[in-house]
Amino acid sequence: MLFVAEPTLGEEEKRALSEVIDQGWITMGERVSRFEREFAEKHEMQDAVAVSSCTAGLHLVMLALGIQPGDEVLVPAMTFAASVNCVLYVGARPVFVDIESLDMPLMSIDDATAKCTEKTKAIILVHYAGYLADRSRWRTFAAERGIVLIEDAAHAAGMVGAGTIGTAGVFSFYGNKNLTTAEGGMVVSEDYHLLERIRQLRAHGLTASTFQRHLNQGITYDVTMLGYNYRMDELRAALGLVQLKNLDTWNKKRRDLSLLYHKILPRDCPEIRIPFYGHPGGSAHHIMPVVLPSDSNRQQVMSKLYGMGIQTTVHYPPAHKLSLYRDLLGPTRLPWTEKFASHELTLPLHPRMTEAQVEQVSEALAEALAQISQQELADG
């Protein structure tokens, strides 16, 4: 089976984990600090804070920025649940915003403008598929309205510029991401005081960490704020340090495979749309989304491809249609998001793929669409 995503792990990762175990200190320590420094440097930032997940990082950013009940936060519905949940965690209200179009499934600045109110305190930009939102337009948008810009950069690890658009950016290291530590995340910001507050919040609000006390840097500690257990451990940091060394190479491979998809899909499947087509640069190329014809049955296409040994998936069910948010926030109409979400299909894309496999996927997709069309004609 050719999977949509597959982590690249090998002997170097095994050795890194063994070294942590042999040395005996497995909770947050020196490797976490080194991972933070090297990740920040990779993204041309001064500092970063490692956390247990991207979700945890988004929650801590909300807390550190003082987002609270009564506030509204603009968030795209074309995203994973974590982008919405972090707003609810602090008691604020998510306000769903449409995407620009089928070809540009990033948050619409026009719809965001229409949904701004005096209660709007922040906006969460999601770099869907690894493509960065427009820096200058969104910075101007936020500055003119006095609201905070936060980047959900879960798809954008290794992309220079990600995390520098807003006040803070949060990355994911989940198992299907460009860089993985199994679970984990990273917060970046140019605001030193914001990062220090997040650093304390991630560890119960303690003024000194266990590792600092282990090194006799702090005899005791105080708790000066309500914190959480959102720490990263040494095992995950060890994985991250190895993965970080290979990230540029892997992202280049993703880019090359994406370019090949952009070249051959129009040849094999002229009836599909390719988001971001013609703009393959400026992305970490985390996933490969396509939009099926409006008259096609996506589930049938997915089943046909699975039968040919090719896994596909959907990014994402639109958040504003999910039961929890619909019940809490009421109905919302987002025409472009709904149209995109009903026909989007994510094709395999990861560094372990070959160019021949991209050709295989493109040809199989064309065959699946043709078979379904022929069956419909026969039934019709």
| CATH C-level class of 247-379 | alpha beta
pLDDT at 218: 57
Structure tokens at 95: 């306000």
**168-172 sheet: strands from edge to edge:** 48-51, 185-188, 168-172, 148-152, 120-126, 72-76, 93-97
Instruction: Say how many residues make up the chain.
Output: 380
pLDDT at 217: 62
Residue 255 has pLDDT above 90, yes or no: yes
Mean pLDDT, rounded, of the chain? 95
Reported as a pLDDT band with limits 50, 70 and 90, residue 157 is very high
**Are residues 293 and 322 in contact, defined by beta-carbon separation less than 8 angstroms?**
no
Alpha-carbon span 184 to 235, nearest angstrom: 11
Reported as a pLDDT band with limits 50, 70 and 90, residue 214 is low
Reported as a pLDDT band with limits 50, 70 and 90, residue 76 is very high
Reported as a pLDDT band with limits 50, 70 and 90, residue 208 is confident
Structure tokens at 213: 């006390």
**Which residues does the annotation mark as catalytic?**
177
Reported as a pLDDT band with limits 50, 70 and 90, residue 128 is very high
Q: Omega into 316 within 30° of 0, i.e. cis?
A: yes
Q: Could you give the residue ranges of the DSSP H alpha helices within the chain?
A: 11-23, 30-42, 54-64, 81-89, 109-115, 135-145, 192-201, 210-214, 234-268, 298-307, 323-329, 335-343, 355-379
**Are residues 182 and 175 in contact, defined by beta-carbon separation less than 8 angstroms?**
yes
3-state secondary structure 55-108: HHHHHHHHHHCCCCCCCEEEEECCCCHHHHHHHHHCCCEEEEECECCCCCCCEC
Residue 178 has pLDDT above 90, yes or no: yes
**Are residues 353 and 2 in contact, defined by beta-carbon separation less than 8 angstroms?**
yes
pLDDT at 373: 87
Which among 48, 19, 2 has a CA at the least distance from the CA of 234?
Answer: 19
Mean of the pLDDT values across residues 104-125? 98
Residue 74 has pLDDT above 90, yes or no: yes
**Are residues 61 and 163 in contact, defined by beta-carbon separation less than 8 angstroms?**
no
Q: Which one of 3.40.640.10, 3.30.420.40, 3.30.565.10, 3.40.1010.10 gives the CATH number of domain 11-97+105-242? A: 3.40.640.10
Reported as a pLDDT band with limits 50, 70 and 90, residue 144 is very high
User: Strand 344-347 vs strand 185-188: parallel, antiparallel, or unpaired?
Assistant: unpaired
Reported as a pLDDT band with limits 50, 70 and 90, residue 380 is low
pLDDT at 374: 85
**Are residues 337 and 273 in contact, defined by beta-carbon separation less than 8 angstroms?**
no
Q: Where are the domains of the chain?
A: 11-97+105-242, 247-379
Alpha-carbon span 39 to 16, nearest angstrom: 17
